[in-house]
Amino acid sequence: MKPISDIFGLLAQPRNIVITFHQKPDADAMGAALALYHFLIQFGHKVTVISPTNWASFLTWMPAAKGVMDFESQTEKASALLKQAAWIFCLDFNVLNRTKNMEPVIRASAAERILIDHHQQAEIADFDYGISDPKKSSTAEMVYDFIIASGGADKINPAVAECLYAGVMTDTGSFRFTSTSASVHRMVADLKERGLEHSIIHENLFDNFLENRFRFFGNVLLNRMEIFYEYNAALITIPQSDLIRYNIKTGDTEGLVNFPLSIKGIRLAAIIIDRGDERKSSFRSKGDFDVNEFARKYFNGGGHVSAAGGKNAEPLDVVVKKFKAALKENKEALNS
């Protein structure tokens, strides 16, 4: 993989570009992609953002979000655009299988693949250009760095700024996580000096849910949460029947895994959700317990040291037993 700086001199030459990210995108994936979209169109490029799957409704406020294509519902048109692309920007993932059913189409495209990502253990052989930096707070921060390094700071308009802020703010837990470096605050200060109105973004992301989501959260915290004080860990288990009962949509479980970390002494929080076709897991940790390695070892996943995810094909009860067995194996690390 060649350095991403090698494409700086090529940005002024208009071409067909596709920007994509991981399935079920969060605010960092969508924000980074749309910020890059608003930056690139100023050069005259023909740019399309394609999501491998649908996304949470609380992301639709982002400028140009209505133009994002859903690969699963627009497969034929999206596949044609991927085939015609000269560049495919791959944001917020570093393993092609995280694009789900898009993976074979991306691999078959003659386009050059450009990686911008902050997850660990990148499969860099699959990308022509790019940057992989797990020390970065978010992909949005990396897109900001890309824009600045390429000499395009003058192209940070309100749309770019809003999307960048949404990504970095959410992926740092509203600037709470240890990944919130000095460079993150300098970036936000720069965006503020350019006129960013940050409070509106917080409202769009956090104050746009329906009543059913709060009743769902109440049921989960009352009936679906187990605490394992001997391991300094907590587990939330959600059967598919709960998702149906409370009419839970994509994005409605966002942030739920963080709740147990507010309990004194808890260092590892996990949530396992029965999605029907698979069991999806999310893990969060405090201190030096590495949930990236934990997710990779037991749950076919990965991510960051303090935030990771996974998926399993086994039934929910089997995955829960696997988690409890993993706690026993990691007792010393969780109590150190």
User: What is residue 317's predicted lDDT score, i.e. its pLDDT?
Assistant: 97
Residue 250: its pLDDT value, please? Answer: 87
Residue 135 clears pLDDT 90, i.e. is over it: yes
Same domain, residue pair 50 and 166: yes
The pLDDT of residue 336: 82
Going by pLDDT thresholds of 50, 70 and 90, the confidence category of residue 121 is confident
Q: What is the pLDDT of residues 209-254, one digit of tens each?
A: 999 999 999 999 999 999 999 999 999 999 999 999 999 998 899 9
Same domain, 220 and 78: no
Quote the domain boundaries for residue 252.
212-335
Instruction: Give percent above pLDDT 90 in the chain.
Output: 94
Last residue of a domain, one of 171, 206, 241: 206
Per-residue pLDDT tens digits for 4-37: 999 999 999 999 999 999 999 999 999 999 999 9
Does residue 70 share a domain with residue 175? yes
The CATH number that applies at residue 327 is: 3.10.310.30
Same-domain check for residues 32 and 86: yes
Do 138 and 194 have their domain in common? yes
Question: Could you tell me if 119 and 246 lie in one domain?
Answer: no
* One domain, residues 129 and 216: no
In the predicted model, what is the mean pLDDT of the chain? 96
Separation of alpha carbons 14 and 119, rounded Å: 30
149-158 mean pLDDT: 98
pTM: predicted TM-score of the whole model, two decimal places: 0.90
Task: Flag whether pLDDT at 261 surpasses 90.
Answer: yes
Domain count, the chain: 2
Residue with tokens 């000096």: 193
Q: What is the pLDDT of residues 52-95, one digit of tens each?
A: 999 999 999 999 999 999 999 999 999 999 999 999 999 999 99
- Tell me the per-residue pLDDT of 293-335, one tens digit each, with 9 for 90 and over: 999 999 999 888 899 999 999 999 999 999 999 999 999 999 9
Q: Are residues 183 and 217 in the same domain?
A: no
- Please state the rounded mean pLDDT for residues 36-57: 97
Tell me: do 170 and 66 sit in the same domain. Answer: yes
Do residue 256 and residue 201 come from a single domain? no
**Shared domain check, 224 and 184:** no
Given 206, 225, 245, the domain boundary residue is: 206
250-261: average pLDDT: 93
pLDDT of res. 212? 96
Query: Cα(237)–Cα(316) distance, rounded to whole angstroms?
Result: 8
Residue 178 has pLDDT above 90, yes or no: no
CATH number at residue 31: 3.90.1640.10
**Chain position carrying tokens 């400028």:** 63
Q: Is the pLDDT of residue 208 over 90?
A: no
Query: Do both 236 and 91 map to the same domain?
Result: no
